[in-house]
Amino acid sequence: MADTQPESTPVSEADLSLIKRIIPHRYPFLLIDKVRDIVPYEGAVGIKNVTANEPHFQGHFPDMPIMPGVTIVEAMAQTSAIVVGVSLGIIDQPLNTFFMTIDNCKFRRMVVPGDVLELHCTVKRPGGRVWKFEGKALVDGQLCCTAEYAAMMDLKADG
């Protein structure tokens, strides 16, 4: 007898394979490695293992590599898109996510190679196409970034 999960079992964690089945991002712009603690329509925690091998560190900055703030916010958005995909049951369908707003964004601590970035994303307003979120990025419990953002979800038709 095969050990399989029934269709009705809620998804509470997404590994890299499932992430790629929900969002279209790929190297070098796939900025999350795992999503845990997924609660549909409520939120999740994304995990980004920051390594010195990432392409943005070649120019930001060669002698003092710092993860660009925009990529931290993008990682929050990708985590949030996984929450949307799980909430709506959108797996193996072409879900595109587009930023609409980024508000009250603040950076508090640098993120550097070797850090494990935790992206705590909360759904503030679920919607059909437009969702609103609040995100907090932490390293070792220290706040790195906060932001409120909205995104439009576009489920592309084939062809």
Residues annotated catalytic, as ranges: 60
The rounded distance, in Å, linking the Cα atoms of 53 and 10 is 34
* CB of 50 closer than 8 Å to CB of 115: yes
Per-residue exposure over 48-59, b if at least 16 CB sit within 10 Å of its own CB, e if not: bebeeebebbee
- Tell me the CA distances in angstroms from 48 to 58, 130, 150, one per residue in order: 18, 25, 21
Per-residue exposure over 72-107, b if at least 16 CB sit within 10 Å of its own CB, e if not: bbbbbbbbbbbbbbbbbebeeeebebeeeebeebee
The rounded distance, in Å, linking the Cα atoms of 13 and 69 is 25
